[in-house]
Amino acid sequence: MKEENYTGVDNSEKLIKIAKEKYPKADFKVASALELPFDNEEFDLIYSLAVLHHLPKDYHNIFVQEAKRVLKKNGILILTIWNLQERKEKQDVKKISEKEILIPWHGAEDHYFYVFDLEELKNLFKDFTIIEEGEIKIKKFSNYYLILKKNG
């Protein structure tokens, strides 16, 4: 049986430390999604769960290019982002613009979020083939998701 391996990445040293303690045999790295410390075409599969909506619009294309760079030809990218469409109208939200908001988050007063709609998200990944797209509802929250294949 082939042994599966994976590498977990987060920009939080604290979260990586927790992951290493919980899964000591796994590989975890502190790194930015905008500057991944990996070779070109290193991965068959990438999961990006609840990452992209934390980045300002100016960084979205950098994120896409980095994912594309480290993903093998015909590799799969599974991506989720929070659907913040309804949340942006709540009283505790500060609007920076129609697409950018600040929300109190785990004791921090102002945490940045970019508010995507599904069409905008799909357009961002126009160089990929969309295998599946949709929205997942979990209790009162929902996430958009894309399952993408790198072309080539």
DSSP letter at 32?
Answer: B
Distances (CA, A) of 24 to 4, 30, 49, 127, 136: 15, 15, 21, 36, 31
Q: What is the pLDDT of residues 79-95, one digit of tens each?
A: 999 999 887 777 778 88
pLDDT digits (tens, 9 = 90+) for 104-146: 877 777 889 999 999 999 999 999 999 999 999 988 789 999 9
The 10s digit of each residue's pLDDT in 38-77 is 999 999 999 999 999 999 999 999 999 999 999 999 999 9
Q: Domain residue spans in the chain?
A: 32-150
pLDDT of residue 3: 52
DSSP category for residue 121: H
Helix H or strand E segment including 103: strand 100-105
CATH superfamily of this structure's domain 32-150: Vaccinia Virus protein VP39 (3.40.50.150)
| CB of 21 closer than 8 Å to CB of 51 | no
* Total-model pTM: 0.89
Name the pairing type of β-strands 27-30 and 7-10: parallel
Residue whose C-alpha is closest to residue 111's, from 64, 56, 63: 56
Q: 50 is written with which tokens?
A: 């609840």
